Amino acid sequence: MANIIDEISRTFSEYLLIPGLTTKLCIPENIKLKTPLVKFEKGKIPEIQLNVPFVSAIMQAVSDDKMAIALARNGGLSFVFSSQSIENQVEMVGKVKKHKGGFVESDANLKPDNTLKDIIEIKKKIGFSTIGITEDGTANGKLLGLVTSRDYRPGRDNFNKKISEFMTPFNKLIVGKLGISLDEANDIIWEHKINNLPIIDENQNLRYFVFRKDYDNHKENPDELLGENKSLLVGAGINTRDYKERIPALIEAKADVLCIDSSDGFSEWQKETIEFVRKNYGDSVKIGAGNIVDADGFNYLVNAGADFVKVGIGGGSICITREQKGIGMGQATALINVAKARNEYLKKTGIYIPICSDGGIVHDYHITLALAMGADFLMMGRYFARFDESPSKKIMIDGSYVKEYWGEGSNRARNWQRYDMGGNESLKFEEGVDSYVPYAGKLKDNLNITVGKIKSTMCSCGAMNLAELKENAKITLVSSTSIIEGGAHDVILKETKSNS
């Protein structure tokens, strides 16, 4: 007979945190949420850390370039979804890497003999209003001038008008020399009251732009997740079928970290994918794997070389893997089991493997519970799908705005690469549903509220950072009746009417 596990499989809703001593220093503004994303040797600093413990799910309805930019600017990281062509995914990753607060390579360039019509078209295509005019029309050609939206009037100027007739010529531009520091570049921008500063080399070739708005944005987003040259960090999902083609393309696009996307990570296909990375790139390329729910799965992927491991099967709001296949585990139990395995691995090897909790989040306090139970960061889909920055449509149903949200295992996504067992590419059943989630507005506003709740709860637990939360938090099981007691009860609630 099968090996029967006597332990009950539990969810986050079955637990509560018990308050600890709140010291005078333990106030929200002193709480730090920095957390490791990839493995590291005990006592050393991880190569990649998150400023807030959130990554967005590898899903068509969640993680494109717009979500990746918004989340990185607020301290987290997106894994751009992989259920698309390699070319499209690479383009999305590239957009994130070029949207950075610092020295920006020019994406919009034309020649002096191009026309206003070309300006309008390139602006419509990529959205940039600052266009470098170079001798050969390339990003690194000899800089001859600059065009911004203030240099022409689309409703009045002739579309056949040559750029050379209305551009700001080089001799009237304020420029910076290659090698200048970002602080020096920003000082020039402020001193001359300009919106951008072209950076040129000794041959007058355009190398970068520095924008005033990036300086302002960084001041508004102090937790921005930045890498080299102040570029935003971005991850990319991969699968175990076309990884030999997809991974090199994503690395060339400068993706900072990869993650295998699968409903079942305890497989030889994931091991082979990780081994491909280690054989061809050593430890320079970071790759996460999953999903798994127990120590066996964790150790298998870690021994294969995973940089982090994702925990959770069937706990996502749109996931029906448990219904369809009868496999999985309550998210809280899975996370506790894997965290124990991670701690044992740390004692044995001195290597800390971050674990990502994926699924099972219904309320914001579940996030804090997951972090206390051992998660280093959380991957969320439904949470981020509700925001303006997600790629799905906002529509009105029964007088309320909602956003479309579908699983990668749904018929709509048709991402069978993620769910098959290595044989026939088509599956005859779905593991995800097509649904709606309530529209919630901007990511930043909602994330600030969630982060505020986490910090407040950590203060009540007497924890100044996530390491202290894991070490010192006390957690208790709750009965079904105590769950009811925890909400509003035995009162008649007043109806709350909207002002809209």
> Could you give the CA distance from residue 259 to residue 265 in angstroms, rounded to a whole number?
11
Q: Using omega within 30 degrees of 0 as the cis cutoff, is the peptide bond preceding 291 cis?
A: yes
Catalytic residue chosen out of the listed positions 246, 418, 459, 461: 418
Closest CA to 373 of 345, 343, 347, 346: 343
| Selection from 327, 305, 345, 316 nearest residue 413 by Cα | 316
What residues are paired with 80 via a beta bridge? 236
User: Is 418 designated active site?
Assistant: yes
- The residues with which 41 forms a beta bridge, in sequence order, are 351
Contact 54, 380 (CB under 8 A): yes
The Cα-based distances of 319 to 118, 131, 135, 332, 351 in angstroms read 46, 45, 54, 16, 32
Pairing type for strands 49-50 and 257-260 reads: unpaired
Residue 108 CB contacts under 8 Å (≥ 6 apart), including other chains: 122, 123, 126, 128, 130, 131, 132
Catalytic-role residue among 26, 259, 319, 356 = 319
Distance, in Å, from the CA atom of 18 to the CA atom of 318, rounded to the nearest integer, reads 31
**Tokens 């979500």 belong to which residue?**
67
CA-CA-CA-CA torsion sign (113, 119, 125, 131)? positive
Q: Which residue has tokens 């040259």? A: 229
φ/ψ of 472, rounded to 5, equals -115, -10
Gap between the Cα atoms of 110 and 290, Å rounded: 45
One-letter amino acid of 200: I
| Active site annotation includes 414 | no
26 in Cβ contact with 464 (< 8 Å): yes
Instruction: Just list the catalytic residues.
Output: 319, 418
